[in-house]
Amino acid sequence: MTEKWFNANRPRRLRRSKAIRRLVRETRLSPQNLVYPIFVKDSGAKEPIASMPGIYRLPVDQLEAEVVEVKELGIPAVIIFGIPSKKDPYGSGAYADYGIVQKAVSQIKHIEDDLVVMTDVCLCQYTDHGHCGIIGGNEILNDKTLELLAKTAVSHAEAGADLVAPSAMMDHQVAAIRRGLDDSNFQNVAVMGYSAKYASGFYGPFREAAYSNPSFGDRRSYQMDPANSREAMKEIEIDIQEGADIVMVKPALAYLDIIARAYERFDVPIAAYNVSGEYALVKAASMNGWIEEKRVVLEILNSIRRSGAELILTYFAKDVARWLRDDEEV
Ligand code: PBG
């Protein structure tokens, strides 16, 4: 008998077939984890977004087909981004009774009542200067902006939103919104904080899609410094104290360490936003034939799940739901 010079472990035994691999898989990705972002505008034709192939600015009256498709694919939630036809210094389109998001939300709820409808609560798409809050001198005013964010969230709730997601990175935005909702009897509308939202170059295509590039300066005085991770824990902790039901890390791919740390540390669901620039990178490379899109996307989304995110906001949601239905392996 030959003497064993190794131990009995042979990890390859559990990799022999697709069925075995599936049995022992540690992380599962399902359409149920996904949230599909939708850009909505008032009128006109459905417009493709150049840097986000496959994603469109949809007029409100063409939402139905999209919403029905999302529902049929088993995706439980959408998040709505409005592209208003007018902007002003106070972002009043964000909290207008018949603003674009308000119209879209009530339409969607009318079409598919059990689809979870989330809204992005921010002013940047609605201000003529493109900042996420109102301006005084050269500053983005925190506390004055809070009132407007709360008003926006309440108007979304009135339209039927199930969950509002403040993304302006103003201090105490979750508290202001929670108070606004409760005062208007929307105790059951949930808040998902964009808690650890970094000042990132990965938002480029989104800003093209939503015409929301700041006209002066940048967002570094309110969004987080990409070099920081302890500060992300502080932001998340504050949001949870203020009543956030779900906390988000954004972007996802360059911040998987932040997702993992947040998952270890906090006992609320963690969301991750696989943002527009992450989508654009994969699309550009796959359109050039340099990578296999399906494999790469599944691998990326699995890495986000593996890091600890239960919810993933992704422009790939519909594609992924189709691939998973077709039983594609990671
Ligand atoms: C609004 C907002 C942005 C994104 C989500 N909400 C843009 C920004 O902060 O500049 C980015 C999403 C993406 O890039 O896909 N503040």
Average confidence (pLDDT) over 325-330:
77
Q: Is 81 helix (H, G, I), strand (E, B) or coil?
A: strand
Q: What CA–CA distance (Å, rounded) separates 199 from 215?
A: 16
Cα angle, residue 183 at apex, residues 179 and 186 outer, rounded to 5°: 90
In this structure, the dihedral spanned by the alpha carbons of residues 79, 318, 308 and 166, taken in order and rounded to 10 degrees, is -10
**pTM across the whole model:** 0.96
> Does residue 120's CB lie within 6 angstroms of at least one atom of ligand 1?
yes
Mean pLDDT of 23-43: 96
Domains contained in the chain, CATH given: 27-248 (3.20.20.70)
Instruction: Tell whether the model's pLDDT for residue 1 goes beyond 60.
Output: no
pLDDT at 136: 94
- For residue 45, the CA-to-ligand 1 centroid distance in Å is 23
Q: Give the pLDDT of residue 5.
A: 82
List of residues 6+ apart from 52 with CB closer than 8 A: 205, 209, 276, 279, 280, 283, 315
Q: What percent of the chain has pLDDT over 90?
A: 93
CA distances from 292 to 21, 256, 297, 298 (A): 21, 22, 9, 10
pLDDT greater than 70 at residue 42: yes
pLDDT at 330: 67
Predicted confidence at residue 327, as pLDDT, reads: 78
Ligand 1 centroid to residue 203 C-alpha, Å: 6
The mean pLDDT value of the chain amounts to 96
Which structure tokens are listed for 306?
């593996």
User: Closest ligand 1 atom to the C-alpha of 197?
Assistant: 9
Q: Please state the φ and ψ torsions of residue 108, each to the nearest 5 degrees.
A: -65, -45
For 166-202, the pLDDT digits (tens) are 999 999 999 999 999 999 999 999 999 999 999 999 9
Known active-site residue 103:
no
Confidence of residue 326 (pLDDT cuts 50, 70, 90): confident
Residue with tokens 């898989």: 25
- Ligand 1 proximity of 207 Cβ (cutoff 6 Å): yes
* C-beta separation of 148 from 95 below 8 A: yes
Mean local confidence (pLDDT), 143-158: 98
Q: Which of the residues 151, 197, 294, 318 is marked catalytic?
A: 197
CA-closest candidate to residue 152, choices 171, 125, 180: 180
3-state secondary structure of 24: coil
Active site residue 18: no
pLDDT class for 3, splitting at 50, 70, 90? confident
pLDDT at 2 over 70: no
CA 117/CA 164 separation, integer angstroms: 9
Q: Which residues pair with 121 in a beta bridge?
A: 166
Residue of 87, 99, 90 whose CA lies nearest to 42: 99
The finding on whether 275 has its CB within 6 A of some atom of ligand 1 is yes
Residues 6 or more apart in contact with residue 57 via CB below 8 angstroms: 39, 40, 41, 46, 47, 49, 83, 209
- Decide: 236 in ligand 1 pocket, CB within 6 A: no
* CB of 40 closer than 8 Å to CB of 85: no
For residue 241, the Cα-to-chain-centroid distance in whole angstroms is 21
Q: Which two tokens stand for residue 172?
A: 């105490």
Catalytic-role residue among 41, 87, 151, 250: 250
Nearest to 223 by CA among 89, 135, 122: 122
Contact between 191 and 161 under an 8 Å Cβ cutoff? The reply is no
3-state secondary structure 86-130: CCECCCHHHHCCCCHHHHHHHHHHHHCCCCEEEEEECCCCCECCC
